[in-house]
Amino acid sequence: MKKRSWQQLTSGTLALVFGTSLMTGSPVSAQNSTPAGQAPGKTALTANTPVTIPQETSYAKRQLRAAWIATVVNIDWPTKPGLAVEEQKRQYIAILDDMQRMGMNAVIVQVKPTSDAFYPSEYGPWSQYLTGVQGKDPGYDPLAFLIEEAHKRNLEFHAWFNPYRISMNDKLANLVPNHPARLHPDWVVSYGGKLYYNPGIPAAKDFVTNSILEVVKKYDIDAVHLDDYFYPYRVADVEFPDEATYQTYGAAQFANKDDWRRNNTDTFVYQLSTAIKQEKSYVKFGISPFGVWRNKAVDPTGSDTQAGQTNYDDLFADTRKWAQNEWIDYIAPQVYWNFGFAPAAYEKVTDWWMKQTEGKNIHLYIGQAAYKVNANNEQWAQPNELPNQLTYNLQFDRINGSMFFSAKDLRRNPLGVADRLANDIYKHPALVPAMPWLDNEAPKKPKLKTADPTTDGVLIEWEDHNKNDAAYFVVYRFDGDKVGNLQDATKLLTTVRNNGAEVQFFTDKTAVDGQAYTYVITAADRLHNESSESNSITLKVKKK
């Protein structure tokens, strides 16, 4: 769950919850030198120069565009527990259709919010957020449905897990009798009014790893996604109660308990990463941590921030190490602050992460605070704050895309932000960036058969003689009688999921009567390696 993260900028500041202002009106400036990953000819940032936001929207052909769909306490889906199956399905389809309209190409769906499951599992009961009763079978396999509907729309499906959180309250007896936490109470820690599996107990850590691998093995997911919860955020000055665990498993090797805790998290991330790739080499592994690794005042290699809690020192998560050691395929720091925000300015945190990931086989996505748009403070009440962040990101090749928390916040269209995505910023489709370190072999190209005007538009058909090779197809349209540059994002018309048939089709309903167009098709695999282009067909539209 993402909203918690930005509260942690100043420890104990409950006034920050849900957008209460600690924002400053200070001028926006970059305090660091030219960001790593900047493309030649793009805007340079030098010390003390104002942040430059391009006035005209530019479009990237490859850019992850994703939204989190949170299920814990029914944040996004389903809207409340106990809904009929058909209503659950209807709500989810409506979310996906809205995501498509906004130009998204991926969804991150929370499938294990509190050591429960949105699928039949050997490692936890059915989620209460489905039926209202923990352990009650909803009468269908929600995860299979969620994946199928996402893939129909050619949206990547990232399965989102909360690894250690057991319950949103601290009453073990409230869990169903066969809950693994009740069967292994020695694994359980109560902290801050919630229950967690103890990350320091090897058996518990292995159990959590296997619970995630269960989904990797059984379902056609595109990625495993973890957010910012490993060891929980500190509660005031209350110490996480694991002294006995430390004495049993860590004191002999680690003189410092915090180093032992960080090693526990490192080991979990590394082992899970290795196990995912051993099972299915194409399944990505990504993590979305709290935005600040360490403050510069504590560590000169940290960011120019003043966060009250940090990943390294308080969550015992050395997130920079995971990126630099390439244990994960993507990192999506939650940069949930505005430009010029004194404790953690958007531009400073983003710049720091670009530098840390430069030259690494890893994608950098930025977690964007859609939930704060139109909040009760001066900066987030500005309609351009979030759009400017997205435009800013496009200046740097090192930034591979964005993730938005959360879907419901985009769908309510605060300050017209969803309209801005659909009609401007994400007006043209984008392919998910490829990961050549996982696979760099493209499918064979398809053969374009026909492009015929109909009453609905231009019906395009193509042959795919290697139907098990391509995950989807990319349709390009050029004005006039020549094939132009396939890297021009404005010529990318749509993507079409492979339906398994030898002949695939798409109807271009935006074709203008009387206009001449040239069409070509490419094929792409599930890791978004793209084939060479097909033969082309040119026609002048005359709708029947």
pLDDT digits (tens, 9 = 90+) for 126-164: 999 999 999 999 999 999 999 999 999 999 999 999 999
- Domain presence at residue 135: yes
- If asked whether residues 314 and 452 sit together in one domain, one would say no
- If asked whether residues 275 and 158 sit together in one domain, one would say yes
- Domain presence at residue 246: no
Q: Supply the pLDDT for residue 544.
A: 65
- If asked whether residues 107 and 71 sit together in one domain, one would say yes
Distance CA 372, CA 357 (A): 27
* pLDDT average, residue stretch 200-206: 98
Q: What is the pTM of this model?
A: 0.92
- Domain presence at residue 47: no
pLDDT band at 467, cuts 50/70/90?
low
Please tell me the total count of domains within the chain. Answer: 2
Assign 5 to helix, strand or coil: helix
pLDDT band at 30, cuts 50/70/90?
very low
Q: What's the CATH code of the domain at 326?
A: 3.20.20.80
| Exposed/middle/buried for residue 487 (C-beta within 10 Å: 0-12, 13-18, 19+) | exposed
- If asked whether residues 472 and 415 sit together in one domain, one would say no
For residue 519 the two structure tokens come to 């069409």
Q: Supply the pLDDT for residue 31.
A: 28
Instruction: Render the burial of 117-131: b for 16+ CB within 10 Å, e for the rest.
Output: bbbebebbbbbbbbb
Instruction: Answer yes or no: are the C-beta atoms of 184 and 133 closer than 8 Å.
Output: no
Looking at 393, 425, 457, which one is the last position of a domain? 425
- If asked whether residues 420 and 457 sit together in one domain, one would say no
- If asked whether residues 385 and 477 sit together in one domain, one would say no
pLDDT score of 47 more than 90: no
For residue 248 the two structure tokens come to 């049993």
Looking at 358, 391, 425, which one is the last position of a domain? 425
- If asked whether residues 410 and 458 sit together in one domain, one would say no
- If asked whether residues 381 and 482 sit together in one domain, one would say no
- Domain presence at residue 48: no
Q: Supply the pLDDT for residue 50.
A: 57
- Domain presence at residue 53: no
Residue of higher predicted confidence among 157 and 455: 157
Looking at 368, 390, 425, which one is the last position of a domain? 425
Query: Percent of the chain, pLDDT > 90?
Result: 87
Any idea which residue has 């489905």 for tokens? 130
Distance CA 391, CA 51 (A): 11
Q: Supply the pLDDT for residue 111.
A: 98
User: For residues 470, 483, 101 and 440, what is the CA-based torsion angle, rounded to 10 degrees?
Assistant: 30
- If asked whether residues 312 and 384 sit together in one domain, one would say yes
- Domain presence at residue 240: no
pLDDT band at 376, cuts 50/70/90?
confident
Q: Supply the pLDDT for residue 14.
A: 26
Task: Write the DSSP symbol of residue 428.
Answer: S
pLDDT score of 356 more than 90: yes
Instruction: Answer yes or no: are the C-beta atoms of 69 and 107 closer than 8 Å.
Output: yes
pLDDT score of 46 more than 90: no
Instruction: Answer yes or no: are the C-beta atoms of 362 and 329 closer than 8 Å.
Output: yes
Please give the residue range of the domain that contains residue 68.
5-27+59-167+197-234+262-425
- If asked whether residues 330 and 469 sit together in one domain, one would say no
Among 7-21, 412-426, 471-485, 488-502, which stretch is predicted with the lowest mean pLDDT? 7-21
- Domain presence at residue 328: yes
pLDDT band at 377, cuts 50/70/90?
confident
**Neighbour count for residue 544 (Cβ, 10 Å):** 7
* pLDDT average, residue stretch 335-360: 97
User: For residues 211, 212, 217 and 218, what is the CA-based torsion angle, rounded to 10 degrees?
Assistant: 80
- Domain presence at residue 254: no
- If asked whether residues 452 and 409 sit together in one domain, one would say no
- If asked whether residues 129 and 213 sit together in one domain, one would say yes
pLDDT band at 3, cuts 50/70/90?
very low
| pLDDT single digits (tens) 230-268 | 999 999 889 999 999 999 999 999 999 999 999 999 999
pLDDT band at 375, cuts 50/70/90?
confident
> Going by DSSP bridges, is the β-strand pair 472-479/106-112 parallel, antiparallel, or unpaired?
unpaired
Q: What's the CATH code of the domain at 525?
A: 2.60.40.10
Q: Which residues contact residue 239 at a Cβ distance below 8 angstroms, ignoring those fewer than 6 apart?
A: none
